[in-house]
Amino acid sequence: MGPGFSFPRPRRRRRRGSYCLGMIEAHGLTKVYGDTKAVDGLDFQVKPGRVTGFLGPNGAGKSTTMRMILGLDLPTSGAVTVNGQGYRGKVWPLREVGALLDARAVHPGRSAYNHLHSLAAANGIARARVDEVLDEVGLTSVAGKRVGGFSLGMSQRLGIAGALLGDPEILMFDEPVNGLDPDGILWIRTLMRSLAEDGRTVLVSSHLMSEMALTADHLLIIGRGRLLADTSLADLIGRHSAERVDVRAADAPRLAGDLRAQGAGVSVEPDGTLQVTGMGAVRIGEVAAARGHVLHQLRDVTASLEEAYFRLTDDSVTYRAPAPGTTEFAGPSPVTAASAPSAGPRAASRISEARA
């Protein structure tokens, strides 16, 4: 199955009763383990026809939330419904929701075909459908092989075949691209996009903003179990990209002093570039002209999505290595705050500069 395939199915957004088919809704969803709040009062809706990225650092509560959606973990308080009903009350759930939680959660001694056949039988799904989904994910040739010998990529495809089995309106994938080769990543991305274009609801979790930027239309960002943002991708970039201006000048130290005197925040990069915040390019140019500076470069820098994400989740990362040494900054600014904690965001901001 190459990256170019698609699902030739009719758009399937329908209304049934008072709720929209294909909705996942959480109200005050909370899960407490001992004295840790893994999920803390989540309210959100996941809607059909788009890929919703469920984004947060490791340990933020993404998997716990997904398990509660599937009725595997019971919420400490609050509730989550799928198509307006709690999951545990469903009789044929695979026809409504398909989920891939853990690709390795199979009996290693069972064949791919028998694994899927047992799932199909459990939900009254025709046996012919097993062959169909095996074909859709490209596992037909290994259908009779024991899944213990499958590579991670093959297991992931098998898990996705299981999710597609009941032709459900709603699909959930927990970190589906983890450990996949570029080919497999591209395949899953294309699959999720085509499922959403089909009118289905797609919820996909990830801890990688860069991955979500390529797949998701909408983002639910959580950190330490709390909802930090419920936003479209475009809005997130718009709201959280603190602008900064990079300036290169013949006498950088003197310009830095002059700009600071005018109230700007300035940090000096090792290569002599000045990163200026709190002052627009026009005003910087005016100040430079008034003080007789020779400018080599004056450039607006837009923060990357990665930076926006780090800024949002900065306080909510549960596990983190100590920060490496950082460049000295003249004053607190959104950009410096985002760049400070680790090498990651700094590298990301470099990339965004290169693109700018």
Partner 1 sequence: MTAAGLRLRATAGSEWIKFRSVRSVPAALLATAVVVVVGGLLVTAGFRSGWSTMTASERATFDPTFQSLHGVELAQLFVGALGVLTVTGEYTSGLIRTTFAATPQRAQVLAVKGLILGGVVWVLCTVASFAAFFAGQVVLTAPARHASLGDPGVLRAVFGGGVYLLLIGLFGCGVGALLRRTAAALAALFGIVLVLPIAVALVPGVLGARLNEYLPSTAGMEFWTVVRTGGDALGAWPGLAVFALYVVATGVAALLLLRRRDV
Which residues are near partner 1 by CB under 8 A? 67, 70-74, 87-91, 93-94, 97, 99, 101-102, 104-111, 114, 117-119, 121-124, 162
87 token code pair: 């999951």
Q: Judged by CB, which is closer to partner 1: 21, or 68?
A: 68
Closest approach, Cβ 152 to partner 1, in A, equals: 14
Cα torsion for 111, 117, 119, 123, to the nearest 10°? 180
User: DSSP per residue over 75-94, as a string?
Assistant: -SEEEEEETTB-GGG-SSGG
Q: Judged by CB, which is closer to partner 1: 114, or 190?
A: 114
Closest approach, Cβ 85 to partner 1, in A, equals: 11
Block residue for tokens 């996942």: 24
DSSP 8-state secondary structure symbol assigned to residue 189 = H
Closest approach, Cβ 351 to partner 1, in A, equals: 36
Buried b (16+ CB within 10 A) or exposed e, 8-22: eeeeeeeeeeeebbb
Closest approach, Cβ 174 to partner 1, in A, equals: 10
Closest approach, Cβ 228 to partner 1, in A, equals: 25
Q: Judged by CB, which is closer to partner 1: 104, or 254?
A: 104
Query: What is the spatial order of strands in the sheet that 265-268 belongs to?
Result: 265-268, 274-277, 244-249, 295-301
Residue type, 60: A
Q: Give the three-state DSSP class for 286.
A: helix
The alpha carbon of residue 26 and the mean position of all alpha carbons in its chain are separated, in whole angstroms, by 18
Q: Give the three-state DSSP class for 181.
A: coil
Q: Judged by CB, which is closer to partner 1: 97, or 134?
A: 97
Q: Judged by CB, which is closer to partner 1: 88, or 350?
A: 88
Of the candidates 165, 158, 164, 153, the residue with the CA atom closest to the CA atom of residue 194: 164
Sorted by sequence, the CB contacts under 8 Å of residue 288 that are 6+ apart come out as 247, 249, 255, 258, 295, 298
Q: Judged by CB, which is closer to partner 1: 74, or 321?
A: 74
Of the candidates 153, 144, 138, 217, the residue with the CA atom closest to the CA atom of residue 185: 153
Distance from C-alpha of 171 to C-alpha of 66, rounded to nearest angstrom: 11
Q: Judged by CB, which is closer to partner 1: 66, or 221?
A: 66
Closest approach, Cβ 277 to partner 1, in A, equals: 46
308 close to 350: Cβ distance less than 8 angstroms:
no
Closest approach, Cβ 126 to partner 1, in A, equals: 12
156 close to 84: Cβ distance less than 8 angstroms:
no
Q: Judged by CB, which is closer to partner 1: 79, or 343?
A: 79
Closest approach, Cβ 240 to partner 1, in A, equals: 35
